[in-house]
Structure 1
Amino acid sequence: MVSTRALSLLLVALLFSVQVVQNKADWGVTYTTAKICASNGSTVEMKCTYTYPAGYTVKEEFWCFQDDKDLKGNLDYKDRIQYNCTEKSCTMKMADLKWTDSREYRFRFITDKTEGKYTGVPGITLSITALQVEVTKIRVNESCTKAELKCKSSCTGDVSYVWLKNGKEVTEENPYITSLQFNDSICCALKGQGKYCSASLYAPKLPSVSVSPSAEIVEGSSVTLTCSSDANPAANYTWYKEGGQTPLSITKQLSFPSIQSSDSGVYNCTAENELGIRKSKHLLINVKYAPKLPSVSVSPSAEIVEGSSVTLTCSSDANPAANYTWYKEGLFLAWAPDGVHHFTSISPENRGNYSCKSENQYGQINSSPVFINVQYPPKLPSVSVSPSAEIVEGRSVTLTCSSDANPAASYTWYKEDEPLPVGPEGVHHFTSISSEDRGNYFCKSENQYGQINSSPVFINVQYAPKLLSVSVSPSAEIVEGSSVTLTCSSDANPAAKYTWYKENGHATLSEEQTLFFRSIQSSDSGQYYCITVKSLELKCSGYKFIDVKYAPKLPSVSVSPSAEIVEGSSVTLTCSSDANPEAKYTWYKEGEDSPKTSGHNFTISNIGAEHSGSYYCVAHNNRGTHNSTLQLTVVAGAWKVTAAGVTFAVLLSIIALSVFLWIWKRRSSKELSQPGNRAGNREQKQPQDQEDLQYASIHFPQIQADPLYSSIRGTQSHIHMKEQEVTEYTAVRFKRDDGALR
């Protein structure tokens, strides 16, 4: 069975996921949602569609409460709502939501017929909520606070929130884990309503402290110190007195019902909430009390600053009233019938002990002395450097700053406007000064009445050369003939002197900081370095390789074998050239457009007469080209001449033999064709035919002239003549023994 709780949860889910439809017959209103939750001051939209039977015409459409009256007639709504109604749909936009807007809203339409009125019931329930950020987990560090925050509201169902950090949306996570700095503030809002945020959470701001009364504090009077800080959640406060670790009070106010002189001192407070803690500035409490017998007071009773107006007042319980005389350091100063001595513009020279004498006809008594401490801002500081002579790297150096001031000044040393660690009594000490400490220094003298900077003093730290390096200009590819500069540089004070060398060379190339090549050559390629010497300490730079690029020089060409080139042999042509980057080679034969081959070598495996001629190779790289020519002559070998003679002799022998056999056969055929030779010779006919077949099977090889000897005209003419002679004999007729013509 399904539990009651499960049914309740299912019902809630259906309320937010299923459209609400109210209808009666063909009348109905469909709302896009049953409930809307929004923040105070935000804007919402309520949407619906509606249906009605045919034959009716809608005359009015509006949103209302249970009283079915148009909200636009309500003074509280007419300026905050807008309708956007089209055929069978209507949207109401409501702005500047108030707490009183939390209620049910319905849509109503009226047709042209009396009974044609309809209100969608139930309508849309609008809930106005206040968002609240809840801190669920937190860890406070000195630099920041890491917190887990959860956004809470009175909205029910599936509600989406967005988080805003310092006014910018950052995430939709809920809960949200983040790191907060002291100045960060964070809030949450309903999704889509980012500008209507919850109250922001933030750590306490710098607490402010005040004292009441703010005027002179007299012994025995009531004094209240108040600490306040802007924070959310609200801060808790704790009061401390300087030098004490125990809290004086854990309330916002620290009260003294009857303050005593022993309560004088420096006070501060801390403001703390769960997002962080901040400490206030110091508050000085200076309790004044009257001396017994005559009492002496100074006005103002607080600090006396140079140039201010100061009044000394002596009072005594006396009757009749006393007459008064003022003294400074025991010496007569002035008569003061009313006990008052006035300084119109007090100066540091007025600093000292003052006392008054109260007297009447019954006697006199001196007051205890009162010290007038004239306070003034620092005068122009004086600075000194020790040692005052030359400052060398690694030595101990002390900077001292002093200034006339009351109260005593505090000092801060600066290097080029960057503050240095604070030292005791205006001193900044370098245990082992370095080249990085070279520069202008000045000190600032200050107290609560003002501040003043000293004139700058230059600390010139001298040191041997270091970080020796070599640079080349131009830094791109170096081309033969161009201008090139090598520069040697180092960190040194005073400036170093340099000497230039080339690797494996002992000669000095230059004693300047730069080594200049007006028109660099390929021979200048190599490793360069510079050195500097100071105080018997030698520094050497690393090598800098100068790689000079240049076009191929005139190529050198050769043939192997270098002796007479004989037909049929293997020959290799070789080409080489000095170039940077390394050259590539292409071989050509004069008179031909297409290259023969690419590479250093061109090999002809079975050379013939047709290979004779001029060859040239082209050496090329990205800087240019250069070429050289080679003449190649091919001669016939002895074996070739001998072979030609043998071939000619065999050819003549074969021709002669052929002619002889042909003539013999013609004669034999003629004899056999005579009448006396035909009879009785049939037995011999078969052998004769066999003999003819034997001759028919003789094949003579074709004799081709070697291309190298195509110029031997005499032999060809002779052979042609023999062929003509044979042709002439084709007209001769012979008879065989059997009398047949052949």
Structure 2
Amino acid sequence: MVSWSSEKNSTFCHNEGYNNGLENSRKSVGGFSLVCDRYVLASMATRCSQKSQVVMSPNADKDVQYVTLTCLSNCSLTNATYIWYRNGQRLVEPTSRQHSVIIHYTSSYSCSVNDLEDLHSPTVCVLGRNCLDVTYAHQSICALKGSTVDLPCKYRHLNNDIVSDSNWYIQGERDEAPTNLSSLPEYSGRVKYLGDNMSDCTLRFTDLRETDSAEYKFRFKTQFAEWRYSFPGTNLTVTDLQVKVTPGTRWNQTRTLTCSTSCNLTDNSNLTYVWYKNGQRLDEPVSRQHSVKEYYTVSYSCSLLNLRSAVVCVVGQSCMNVSYTHQSVCALKGSTVNISCTFRHLKNHNATEETWFNKWDSGVIKDLIQDPEYAGRVDYHRTTDKDSTLTVTDLRESDSAEYKFRFTSNKVTWGYSFPGTTLTVTDIQVKGTPATEEGKVNLTCITSCPLTDNSNTTYIWYKNGQHLTHQKTMTSYLILDPDSMEDRGRYSCGVKGLTNVHSPKFSVGEQSVRIGTIVGITVVVVILMLCLPGFIWFRKKASKSTSDRRDKVVIRQRVHVDTDSDTYTTLNMRTMSPDYDTLDVRFLYSVS
């Protein structure tokens, strides 16, 4: 809430509902009833700063256009150090409760108390209602590892301003400048800006990792001002699922399993928990807790939003379990992929009937080695007695599927419904985007999913079908100048070692050449069309003049009169041959 106030009515205090048995003092100032709790500084995080706000008082001197800002909270603070922010940038001075500022349309201010910077006041405009501001829907978000999460965000600026630049940043240490996410390769393909150039600045994360836990901030520029990065953003915490086992009583041989996270999930509405026993999905329960009987061979795990926890033993450490190295794998068409897992069972028992499969129907599975679609392309191998690796060669896009491992030990078989490793087979394409240097284009060799084993990938670029051998062409991108004759051509990319894998060709500069040629031809055609009527008129006039002269010559010269005969001979001047005809003598004599 933003309000204009004078010294008389600018006092603010909190709702009386925050007593909690603490000592209160009631005061009456200017007709306002105030309740101010005496809290220690630590309590203020939840009772004071969330209620703080900036109040503006116009200065009486009309010659100087400035206002006085006051940082108000719902409790009295002793020796508090205040922090002020202007357009998202922390000010070195002042550190007092009040701050006088020059009136400016783009300026916005917020305040907080030292050591409690995350609990800042709402931003207020010094003048008008459309100054610079960024508002995050959540100060903190808790999300599951491997899931997708949005960081909702809104921003504002002057109505006529044009946003020239906008980016999300990750904050390291508080005193350090944040880092642009687009410059960090570990975020490539996993973050997407869902916002626009008006008011929405939402960021989406996919395939969350625990290393993504950090503070994220939005920053933007217009032609007149800039929102800075020291203003608090959204803290993201990424957690995995864990099954905690609580022992039963001495007389009750049951244990309680709890599907837990390290933080409370932000989006916790309509959560459905799924439980697995020895790899087989249970129809019940769907709640966060599950009571089970103690048994040495039994193992359990839980899943939420299609994300699963690690397997735990109800008793001991040697129950049945299968753990996959990757939940998902992305590989190139035509390449070779390894899908591996480790497994365990009771000691003194052997594993039998080891099988990899990707098709099952009502519990009936089909061994990949016996599947004709994979004939000669699959192999199983082991390095120890507790691991197995599936190797698939000459990958096809139809190989995209979920792959699972199954074994039997002591007549107990690992279930088929426990999630395995999802394989996605992708081809490669060339994507063209404007480069940072004006006029140039950035070509990137992309895939539909981030390659799992990308550390040893060496890219190959081709121009007009010829392999480019320069060192700069061994990366996943090229920066080219479309106006340069040297860079013009058709480009495609591939991966070293996969000779049969090539992207479709991407043209650079050829379009402008074709356009220039078409424009030139069009100009010539237009000129010819304009000149053609005049040329035809000239030809017709010249032809008519020649024809008239010839006809006159023919009439005067071609007739030979024979007085003794009614038949006359005329000479055709074009063919120089005589034509015979019967003519009217009266007509002939009338021609001069």
The structure with the larger Rg is 1
What is the TM-score when the length of structure 2 is the normalising length?
A: 0.29
What is the TM-score when the length of structure 1 is the normalising length?
A: 0.24
